[in-house]
Amino acid sequence: MSAENNVFKARELGQSIWLDSISRDMLRSGELKRLVESGVSGVTSNPTIFENAIANSNIYDEALIGYAQDGAPVETVFERLAIDDIRDAADVLRSVYDESGGKDGFVSIEVSPRLAFDTSGTVEEARRLWAAIDRPNIMIKVPGTPEGVPAIQTLISEGINVNVTLLFSINAYRDAANAYIDGVRSFMSSGKGSPARIASVASFFVSRVDTAVDKELGEGHELTGKAGIANARVAYGEFLELFDITLGSGNFHPLATTGAQVQRPLWASTSVKNPAFPDTMYVDELMGPQTVNTLPGATLDAMIDHGNVDDRLEPSLADAKSVMEGIAATGVSIDKVTDDLLAAGVKAFSDSYDSLLGRLTEKLGKLTPTGGD
């Protein structure tokens, strides 16, 4: 694929395109390697992605049997399978990581959704996953819940890369960004060395905001399909203020002088849910420097085929604030919407995790004489 494709063009603009999918088949067939060669510079995963990859394929069966032989609980068996895939994907992306000086080329794995409201449990599991995978170019996904925020700070202070997930509200984004800054500051004060290799992204969910707000607005409203993009653009404005190093001031500036990286906003949930919207809407309208967009396969294909690469973030900040003010004027509470979306997001990932474990247990029952017990 030509170096002139839209993925490379986005990279030239300053946005990394990551793939929101992973499977062993993708790794074995060389598909991921080909995508990386076409400009894709990261991979994200979540329980739903692993459920689709593992439970709907027989490619994992041999490893599944092997990892269950010691009588490990099904949660441990799944983790062993996931670690294999994450490690292998990290190896495919290692060249991107090295060539970018540790600023890109990451693969993300999520702590158990059951720990979304458990700070100490999140920290313990994140440490264990980080050590077990043993690759510098992975990120541990931690949900941006109130309990997740102190876990983010702790993990960053220990030099563990973090992908903050399930961010919907501006306040939650701000808390996640400050947790990263405080974590880098703690790392620096501990004398562990340069923070240049510590990386983090803040995953701000987009399309689900539109789905929820549009339902509140009612059919045919002039602001239909505007909330998700405007909300994300407002978050980008917060990012520019929090991580502005050009003015030589602010909380992050002293850290930046030591080589610390900014925590890039990552746009998640960027496949359109409303068929009336253009299929690249959440890609085109959220294109801008120092950001990441993670795309499922179909959206990536559409972006490569007919995406429009241009900076749509900073030039649209004033308009974004006007849109959010307009939505508030209708009586829709964006705070309630985002609170509800966070709760629903945690539940959805937890339900997927439970479903995955149930399907693995069922599969083990068919593959092993002992039923996987």
CATH number of domain containing 220 = 3.20.20.70
Q: What is the CA radius of gyration of the chain?
A: 20
Residue 113 structure tokens: 């959704």
Which value, to the nearest 10 degrees, does the dihedral of the CA atoms of residues 54, 36, 294, 349 take? 20
Domain assignment present for residue 15? The answer is yes
Domain assignment present for residue 45? The answer is yes
Q: In degrees, to the nearest 5, what angle opens at C-alpha 127 toward C-alphas 163 and 88?
A: 65
Query: Do the Cβ atoms of 311 and 74 come closer than 8 Å?
Result: no
Query: Do the Cβ atoms of 178 and 186 come closer than 8 Å?
Result: no
What is the structure's pLDDT at 175? 98
What is the domain range of residue 312? 6-367
What is the structure's pLDDT at 372? 44
Domain assignment present for residue 38? The answer is yes
User: What are the average pLDDT values for consecutive 10-residue runs of the chain, which has 373 residues?
Assistant: 81 98 95 97 92 86 94 94 97 98 97 96 98 98 98 98 98 98 95 93 97 95 97 96 74 89 97 94 98 97 96 96 98 97 96 93 83 45
The reply to whether 226 belongs to the active site is no
Domain assignment present for residue 291? The answer is yes
Query: Do the Cβ atoms of 135 and 163 come closer than 8 Å?
Result: no
Global confidence as pTM = 0.95
Active-site annotation holder among 9, 33, 103, 141: 141
Beta bridge partners, 106, equal 42
Q: What are phi and psi of 275, to 5 degrees?
A: -65, -15
Would you put residue 164 in left (φ > 0), alpha (ψ -120 to 50) or beta? Answer: beta
The total domain count for the chain is: 1
E-strand stretches of 144-261: 162-167, 200-205
Domain assignment present for residue 373? The answer is no
What is the structure's pLDDT at 51? 86
Domain assignment present for residue 372? The answer is no
- Measured over the CA atoms of residue 103, residue 247, residue 286 and residue 170, the dihedral's sign is positive
What is the structure's pLDDT at 38? 96
Query: Do the Cβ atoms of 324 and 230 come closer than 8 Å?
Result: yes
The CA–CA distances, whole Å, from 39 to 25, 163, 291 equal 20, 21, 15
Place of tokens 């890369």: 161
Domain assignment present for residue 1? The answer is no
Query: Do the Cβ atoms of 110 and 46 come closer than 8 Å?
Result: yes
Domain assignment present for residue 165? The answer is yes
